[in-house]
Amino acid sequence: MKPFTKKLVLENGSEFLGYGYGANVERVCEIVFNTSVVGYQEILSDPSNIDQIVVMAYPLIGNYGITDEDFEAKVPQIGGMVVRECNENPSNFRYTKTFSETLEEQGIPVRVLQMSGAKDPDEFIKKKGAEAFKALLTESRTGFEYKLESVLSKHDISQVEEKRRAAEALSEIISDYHSTVERELYSKRAGEALSLSADAIRSDAERLRKKKMRDYNKDQSKEAHATLRQFGNKVNPDAAKNLRAAYAEETLLGLLMIYPEYREGVIRGEYDLLPDDFFTEFGKRVFSAIIELEASGGFIYSLLGETFNPDEMSALEDMQLRRRSLAENGPEVFRSSAQILRTETRKTNNERSGNYTLEDKLAEKRRQLEAQKKLRGE
């Protein structure tokens, strides 16, 4: 049996071991059931489900994907979800992401339960009892294991060409995980399943990851400038003074609000990031508030409403909404954004004081060229 990756602990002390699916995080939540036939995206993003783990009674979830325009709130606050089957191949011309991709990006843990002889958890419990359902929880699988089985079911890996296609599909999946540890573990697991070396899978996944990062930077350039002009005019006038610095600042703040590992890394000193590194006064205020909340017992987004007005909170929600796809690039984007922000802030401060020399400009250009070479893998 595979080693368990998650533990569910109830208020009465009962513990259930199983396999996580979605984000690899810990949550303290109320567990509830939902019997809706459709509307899983609305359930996922409904503010009334904040900090609740929802057990979905309907057997198939994810069949029409996730559409950005249909969220009830810009940033889903649900604590977790338990489903019987998750569809990784949506049929909907409007969908922008799969159900599991959204869960991973938003830091929401989920479990997949395979039930036989019942169409949903309610029927399963009525037929076989609560103890059988508890046992089923311990057999639930991780998101990657679910995707691995899905890929293997579509390819006859005894054939060379089919094995190659399966390896390509798994490398594509692994490249989307922002955790280096996860990519390492899943490359090894995929290699074992395909009788290939983990290095071969890992190498292809990292190559795809770098390509996605380059493509993302190209695609987001125009949108970033337009967004920042509007954003700066509304709640942060300083942003318009240096769009490159403001976009890096917004990226850092969005990632800090979404992913706890970055907040923890800042507190531990792994990222060497301070309020004075931020370009705008608004950015300094937001960064300080996020880190203070994290250090004083844990960051909860809604508590920012005690410090920031409705227009500012709307801007913060927009930062998070636009950072969803950055989960693909993970720590690399965070570190590069921090470096850009420090460089641009220092340059602006020096220009204001008259200390920005030709040597400074040449040094900055060399740093940019080195960063571009590293990004291309040269």
In a domain, 214, yes or no: no
What is the per-residue pLDDT for 231?
46
Could you tell me the two tokens for 171? Answer: 């490398």
| Residue 289 confidence (pLDDT) | 93
Looking at the structure, tell me whether residues 342 and 255 fall in a common domain.
Answer: yes
Of the residues 127, 142, 157, the one at which a domain ends: 142
> Of 119, 142, 165, which residue is a domain's last?
142
CA-to-CA distance for 328 and 174, rounded, in angstroms? 10
Q: What is the pLDDT of residue 285?
A: 92
Is 222 part of a structural domain of the chain?
no
49 and 114 in a single domain? The answer is yes
In a domain, 216, yes or no: no
Last residue of a domain, one of 142, 159, 178: 142
Structural domain count of the chain: 3
Same domain, 285 and 157: no
Q: Which residue has the tokens 């531990």?
A: 268
pLDDT of residue 232: 46
In this predicted structure, what is the pLDDT of residue 34?
A: 87
pLDDT by 10s per residue, the chain, length 378: 556 666 667 777 777 666 566 666 667 778 888 888 888 888 888 878 887 888 888 878 888 888 877 777 766 778 887 777 777 778 888 888 887 777 777 767 655 555 566 666 667 777 877 777 666 655 555 567 777 887 888 889 889 899 999 999 999 888 877 667 778 888 999 999 999 999 999 999 888 888 877 776 665 555 555 554 544 456 888 887 778 888 888 888 988 988 888 898 888 888 888 888 888 899 999 999 999 998 888 888 888 988 998 888 888 888 887 666 555 566 778 888 888 888 887 777 665 555 545 555 566 556 656 655 554 554
3-state secondary structure of 3: coil
Are 368 and 268 within one domain?
A: yes
**Looking at the structure, do residues 197 and 326 belong to the same domain, yes or no?**
no
Q: Considering the domain boundaries, does residue 218 fall inside one? A: no
Q: 353 and 250, same structural domain?
A: yes
- DSSP letters, 159-185, are SHHHHHHHHHHHHHHHHT---HHHHHH
User: Is there a single domain that holds both residue 249 and residue 280?
Assistant: yes
Residue 297: partners with Cβ closer than 8 Å, 6 or more residues away? none
Q: What are phi and psi of 274, to 5 degrees?
A: -125, 160
Residue 101: which of 144, 60, 71 has the closest Cα? Answer: 144
Same domain, 100 and 10: yes
Report if pTM > 0.85: no
Residue 224 lies in a domain: no
The CATH number that applies at residue 199 is: 1.20.50
Nearest residue to 90 via CA among 73, 102, 81: 102
Show the domain range for 65: 6-142
Answer yes or no: do 337 and 370 share one domain: yes
Q: Which of 197, 202, 186 lies closest to 148, judged by CA?
A: 186
Give the pLDDT of residue 24: 62
Beta strands 30-34 and 21-22 are: unpaired
Shared domain check, 172 and 89: no
